[in-house]
């Protein structure tokens, strides 16, 4: 019908205060019907209340339900004073609903309208009887005291009403409350009315008083017991709602699949107060199990039997529940359910059912928590796949940029080398000495640029792959800077390069060759991106147990929007000053990688009044003096 009308299919269970008193056969039939509804694709919903027709009608109104299917017998009222049937009451409560009745000869006649007092066991416990007797004894003693003080009779009657109220609050069920109501009338008549110690009364009005007192006491007891039942059900619903809310929060904070499974099992253990076993999925099969014991106490391991593992494997393979209470492996002590979504099965969770089966509401909340856990694992796997896809796309982008940049920017020096070499071979004898020297210088510069490019590519590849072996030794920073200046770009002669050192000894434990490469790259970078005649100042000093080196220029500077990108590979900015068209954007990323490997940092800031300052800091080394 749901498919034909294009609607949703919901199986509704109304849990009444008397649901705990259901027999084993009724519990079995209820679980069977719930599983049947699940297999048919129904959403299982559980609500609380004692008036079943009213609860069904209210649920239908809130959920927008228009059609209700009931399985009922064809039995109608037997007497004119009998109460209306479930169908009649539901029709009167919700006249706008379409109600379909499926004949069911095995259905019971009563439907628990919530108006019956004695649907529970009539025999109270010894504890409840002692509590009732104690309360009524105390009330009677207080009544004697009130008589001595010449209090009005209605005060003593109200005192007994209060005793009935306490009895209903402190005992379970209706029996003790009703017995207390009758006993309170009898005690009041026997001990506190004239003649004393008899059940006779001189005043004829006492008969009416006794009747009203008994009726009021029974009504008070009934209402109190019903409110207590509702409070208990509300507390259970609030606890289970909190479990669901906490589960959602915990699963969102989980960092791994193992943590997700652990949190899911812990929340189920809080909800059900039963031991659990978890089998995670590993490489398309069930992995090693993890058992969660109630209160951390290890009792008899019911999950160690061979049929328990067999039931778990069957659940994993068939994506259906198995074990206790099912048709598959019914001899198992645990109930096994798959942690799954449409994307697959992520594990199997087994629940200890050796003591008692699950009730209907526990079953629905259990399925909700399992669904939350499976969805969390699926979301995490999807997130990891997205991260891997993004990383792969980033690598592909870097590879494409590298190939595109190399094919574009290497063509210029290679063409220059090839052309100049061809010119020397063809016209070498006719060229004057100055021209030949100029051509050879250009070939040398282009070759040196290519060599530097290859060195940078090899260095940054080795560092990022973790294959760079650092040759650490104590080095003087000023000596490394002076040596590096001998290897800077030949065009540096068109700029003014100055150095400034303090009087202190600046000693660091570094790989001198790599740190010199950092200085060379920073100075070459300043030469490429500043006009001819610019001033480049290199200064080294100590600051907070670190040796700091600044490479400052007075060029045009770097725009704020580009500062966050200058340390990215293949970023060359928009400037076309000097030789910038021949930069692959590898120098600064290489410098940062080298300094990071040494435990240092590389930063960029504006120079005053104009220009840029690239600054790197390395941990200072202590000077050891050996006599």
Least confidently predicted of 335-349, 462-476, 507-521, 604-618 = 462-476
Tokens of 486: 């001998």
C-alpha 266/C-alpha 278 separation (Å) is: 11
Tokens of 617: 């800091």
Strand pairing category for 334-341 and 344-352 = antiparallel
C-alpha 246/C-alpha 272 separation (Å) is: 15
Q: In this structure, is the dihedral angle defined by the CA atoms of residues 471, 475, 480 and 483, taken in order, positive or negative?
A: negative
SS3 of 500, please?
A: strand
Continuous H helices in 73-204: 86-93, 126-148, 153-170, 175-192
What single-letter DSSP state applies at residue 389?
A: H
What band does 536 get if pLDDT is binned at 50, 70 and 90?
Answer: very high
pLDDT on residue 388: 87
Strand partners, 292: 276
Tokens of 70: 């009931």
User: Is 201 a residue whose pLDDT tops 60?
Assistant: yes
- Which whole number is the average pLDDT over 274-291? 87
Q: Which tens digit of pLDDT belongs to each residue from 19-69?
A: 766 777 777 788 788 878 877 878 877 777 777 888 888 888 887 888 888
Q: Which tens digit of pLDDT belongs to each residue from 412-470?
A: 678 888 888 888 888 877 888 888 888 888 888 778 777 766 776 676 666 666 666 77
Strand partners, 535: 496
Rg (CA), the chain: 44
Tokens of 19: 């649901």
User: Is 473 a residue whose pLDDT tops 70?
Assistant: yes
Alpha-carbon 535 to chain mean position: 57
pTM, to two decimals:
0.51
C-alpha 239/C-alpha 247 separation (Å) is: 12
Q: Which tens digit of pLDDT belongs to each residue from 73-131?
A: 555 555 555 567 777 788 888 888 888 888 765 554 444 444 444 444 557 778 888 88
Q: Measure CA of the first residue to CA of the last residue in the chain; give whole Å.
A: 99
C-alpha 342/C-alpha 461 separation (Å) is: 42
Q: Judge if the upstream peptide bond of residue 568 is cis by omega within 30 degrees of 0.
A: no
Query: How many CB atoms neighbour CB 454 within 10 A?
Result: 10
Q: Which of 31-40, 187-196, 269-278 is the most confident on average?
A: 269-278
| Nearest 10 degrees: Cα torsion 395, 397, 403, 407 | -160
Alpha-carbon 449 to chain mean position: 53
Q: Which tens digit of pLDDT belongs to each residue from 602-617?
A: 998 998 888 999 999 9
- Residue partners of 551: CB distance under 8 A and separation at least 6: 519, 522, 523, 526, 536, 537, 538, 613, 614, 615
User: Is 575 a residue whose pLDDT tops 60?
Assistant: no
Of the candidates 287, 266, 286, the one whose C-alpha atom is nearest the C-alpha of residue 276 is 266
Of the candidates 597, 591, 611, 496, the one whose C-alpha atom is nearest the C-alpha of residue 549 is 591
Tokens of 316: 């994993």
Task: Assess contact for 292 and 276: CB atoms under 8 A.
Answer: yes
Please provide residue 293's backbone torsions phi and psi, each rounded to the nearest 5 degrees.
Answer: -95, 145
């Amino acid at each position: 019908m749901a498919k034909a009308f294009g609607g949703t299919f919901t199986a509704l269970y109304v849990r009444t205060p008397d649901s705990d008193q259901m027999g084993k056969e009724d519990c079995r039939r209820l679980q069977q019907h719930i599983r049947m509804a699940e297999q048919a694709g129904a959403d299982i919903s559980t609500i609380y209340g004692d008036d079943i027709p009213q609860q069904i009608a209210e649920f239908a109104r809130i959920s927008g339900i228009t059609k209700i299917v009931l399985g009922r017998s064809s039995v109608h009222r037997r007497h004119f004073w009998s109460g209306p049937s479930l169908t009649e009451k539901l029709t009167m409560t919700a006249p706008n609903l379409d109600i379909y009745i499926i004949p069911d000869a095995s259905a019971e006649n009563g439907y628990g309208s919530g108006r019956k007092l004695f649907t529970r066991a009539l025999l109270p416990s010894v504890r409840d009887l002692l509590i009732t007797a104690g309360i009524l004894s105390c009330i009677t003693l207080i009544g004697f005291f009130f008589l001595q003080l010449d209090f009005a009779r209605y005060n003593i009657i109200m005192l007994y009403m209060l005793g009935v109220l306490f009895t209903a609050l402190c005992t379970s069920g209706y029996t003790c409350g009703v017995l207390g109501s009758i006993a309170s009338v009898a005690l009041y008549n026997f001990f506190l009315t004239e003649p004393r110690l008899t059940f006779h009364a001189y005043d004829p009005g006492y008969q009416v008083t006794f009747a009203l007192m008994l009726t009021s006491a029974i009504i008070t007891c009934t209402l109190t017991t019903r409110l207590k039942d509702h409070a208990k059900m509300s507390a259970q619903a609030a606890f289970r709602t909190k479990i669901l809310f906490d589960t959602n929060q915990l699963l969102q904070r989980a960092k791994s699949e193992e943590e997700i499974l652990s949190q899911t099992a812990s929340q189920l253990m809080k909800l059900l107060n039963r031991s659990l076993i978890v089998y995670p999925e590993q490489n398309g099969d069930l992995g090693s199990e993890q058992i969660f014991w109630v209160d951390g106490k290890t009792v008899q391991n019911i999950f160690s039997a061979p049929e328990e593992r067999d039931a778990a494997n069957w659940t994993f393979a068939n994506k259906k529940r198995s074990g206790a209470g099912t048709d598959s492996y019914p001899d198992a002590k645990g109930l096994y359910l798959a942690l799954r979504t449409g994307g697959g099965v992520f594990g199997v969770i087994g629940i200890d059912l050796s003591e008692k089966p699950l009730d209907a509401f526990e079953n629905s909340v259990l399925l909700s928590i399992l669904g939350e856990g499976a969805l969390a694992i699926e979301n995490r796997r999807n997130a990891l796949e997205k991260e891997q896809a993004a990383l792969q796309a980033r690598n592909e982008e870097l590879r494409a940029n590298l190939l595109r940049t190399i094919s574009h920017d290497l063509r210029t020096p290679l063409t220059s080398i090839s052309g100049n070499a061809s010119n020397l071979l063809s016209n070498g004898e006719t060229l004057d000495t100055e021209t030949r020297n100029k051509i050879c210088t250009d070939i040398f510069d282009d070759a040196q640029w290519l060599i530097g490019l290859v060195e940078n590519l090899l260095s940054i590849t080795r560092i990022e792959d973790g294959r760079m072996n650092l040759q650490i030794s104590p080095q003087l920073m000023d000596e490394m800077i002076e040596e590096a200046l001998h290897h800077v770009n030949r065009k540096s002669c068109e700029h003014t390069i100055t150095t400034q050192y303090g009087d202190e000894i600046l000693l660091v434990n570094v790989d001198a060759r790599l740190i010199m490469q950092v200085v060379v790259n920073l100075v070459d970078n300043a030469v490429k991106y500043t006009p001819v005649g610019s001033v480049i100042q290199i200064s080294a000093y100590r600051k907070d147990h670190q040796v700091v080196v600044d490479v400052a220029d007075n060029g045009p500077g770097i725009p704020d929007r580009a500062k966050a990108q200058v340390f990215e590979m293949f970023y060359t900015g928009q400037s076309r000053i000097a030789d910038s068209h021949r930069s692959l954007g590898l120098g600064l990323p290489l410098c940062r990688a080298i300094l990071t490997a040494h435990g240092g940092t590389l930063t960029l800031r504006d120079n005053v009044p104009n220009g840029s300052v690239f600054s790197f800091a390395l941990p200072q080394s202590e000077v050891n003096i050996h006599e």
